[in-house]
Amino acid sequence: MQVRRGILIILSSPSGAGKSTLAQRLIGWDDTLSFSVSATTRAARPGEEDGREYYFRSRETFMDMVHNGQMLEHAEVFGNLYGSPRGPVEDAIGQGRDVIFDIDWQGGQQVRNSGLAEDVVSIFILPPSIEELEKRLRSRAQDSDEVIAARMQKSRDEISHWAEYDYCLINRDIDVAEVELRAILVAERLKRSRQPGLMELVRDLNDEFEGRKT
């Protein structure tokens, strides 16, 4: 049986809107999904491990990967570089496995403009309000007031790119947003263009009709 190509699922949002939580929940719902582990030059936070949350690399090593064409996308955010190694992603979709990208709008643009554009499904996550966005950032207790202020300042620019995406979800309630996200993935998998055995099945059905005439 012919295996369909995998889908590149891009999830983007301003910091605090919920994309990372939704990505983790989606993988928990369907363990055939794989998570695109990004490389970054930022320092690891407490509890993070190299190769699990991120590949933690020096700026020099990261830029070598960019220059050697080993990054599918990359961007600088708050003084640190982030990017998606190309090799693991191409291997996964070639084997029919769907890959989730937790990246910002800059990375999303690069992936959509890459040679893998036809495999992309892009989803932007919006907060219900700016007040709620700041509340969520502060509840994480991971960043200083200065960093939170910078993230809030940047969120306006990030939100302005919502119309570039295939889908837009408003994360008023994380459980509802998860259900909506699942529905998008199921629908995209069922698109006619992503069912490689469909034409053969219809041909067999027509043959059955012909056989019933005799």
The predicted structure's pLDDT at residue 214:
60
Residue 2 has pLDDT above 80, yes or no: no
Strand order in the sheet with 167-170: 34-35, 99-102, 8-12, 120-126, 167-170
Rounded to the nearest angstrom, the gap between the alpha carbon of residue 210 and the centroid of all alpha carbons in its chain is 45
Which of 22, 41, 40, 27 has its CA nearest to residue 92?
27
| 100-121 residue pLDDT tens | 998 889 889 999 988 889 999 9
Q: Is 138 helix (H, G, I), strand (E, B) or coil?
A: helix
Partners of residue 8 on adjacent β-strands: 99, 120
Distance CA 79, CA 82 (A): 10
pTM value is: 0.82
Q: Find out if CATH 3.40.50.300 is the number for domain 8-213.
A: yes
Q: Please give the backbone phi and psi of residue 68, each rounded to the nearest 5 degrees, phi first.
A: -90, 5
| 46-83 residue pLDDT tens | 999 998 889 999 999 999 999 998 899 998 888 999 89
Which of 20, 110, 103 has its CA nearest to residue 72?
110
Cα angle for residues 134, 157, 66 (degrees, 5° grid): 110
Domain borders along the chain are: 8-213
Which of 23, 15, 75 has its CA nearest to residue 182?
23
The predicted structure's pLDDT at residue 197:
87
Distance CA 182, CA 191 (A): 15
